[in-house]
Amino acid sequence: MDWVEYQAALADLLRSLGFDVEVEALVAGARARHKIDVWATFQRFGLQHQWAVECKLWKARVSKREALAFKGVVDDVGADKGLLLSESGFQRGAITAVAHTNAMLLSFAELRSRVKPDFLRELLDVTTTRMTLLQDRYVTVRLAMEDELYWLEETGVDVGATALYADYQSTWEYADFAMIHRALENGRLGKLPAAVGIDDHGEPVFARDLETLLDSVSGTLDRIEGRTEALFSKYDAIIKKWPPGSCPPRLSPWHELLKG
């Protein structure tokens, strides 16, 4: 990993936590403008928080002089927190110089370890929202499909919608939202291991930690969405087969529901 990749990895990590991130930002301070490797901001408690991050992918340890220079920049731009990252460590004088201040000296791995619990909590919220929206979409589309199939029974016109509904039902059965919901709730409550699926032999599959649980659930949601996209393609083909003038009046709204 070179310095640019190191800086980009840090920016990606902070973005994953909900930060607004600017790489190589020019930030105005009280005395001068400073080029900050990574300038990260976020809102919390109604206030804007600002972090200045400097990346030192050096072979040598960071010196006291470098640490103090960084602390000066942090103070000048009014950052709430300063993070000085080094993969080669820090001289003892550097550690002492910024002790008990708003500047932290650490490696990328140490930073990731510290923020990982917050990252997983954020990902848990995002995954729960994603699951809820996908489930709501499925229920809405199912009701619309059933309405359209009733119309087909009345008119006798069927150019493939019945088969599509069977595909939809199969996808619905595959999408065990109840299990996904229980898994996410158990993860939120720390009740692990938690069941996250069923294997080919009908036996439950368990996740023993939150990270594994979220990876598994995200993979399941990806597959559900993939099956849904396949339904969209089939439905587009069905629309083209409807005889002129025989298309049911609610067909377009149904299609809009499918496209979410």
**Can you give the pLDDT at residue 236?**
64
**Can you give the pLDDT at residue 223?**
84
CA gap 239, 251 in Å, rounded: 8
CATH number for the region 3-106 comes to 3.40.1350.10
pLDDT digits (tens, 9 = 90+) for 65-80: 999 999 999 999 999 9
Give the range among 82-86, 117-121, 167-171 with minimum mean pLDDT.
167-171
Of the pLDDT bands very low, low, confident and very high (cuts 50, 70, 90), residue 250 is very low
Highest-pLDDT range among 11-15, 47-51, 52-56, 238-242: 52-56
**Can you give the pLDDT at residue 119?**
74
Domain ranges of the chain: 3-106, 116-259
Give the range among 10-19, 41-50, 69-78, 99-108 with minimum mean pLDDT.
41-50
CA gap 7, 142 in Å, rounded: 46
Residue 14: other Cβ atoms inside 10 A? 22
**Can you give the pLDDT at residue 162?**
62
Q: Which two tokens stand for residue 241?
A: 């087969």
The more confidently predicted of residues 175 and 8 is 8
The more confidently predicted of residues 211 and 227 is 211
**Can you give the pLDDT at residue 253?**
47
Q: What percent of the chain has pLDDT above 90?
A: 45
Mean pLDDT over each residue of the chain, to the nearest integer: 82
pTM: 0.57
**Can you give the pLDDT at residue 164?**
63
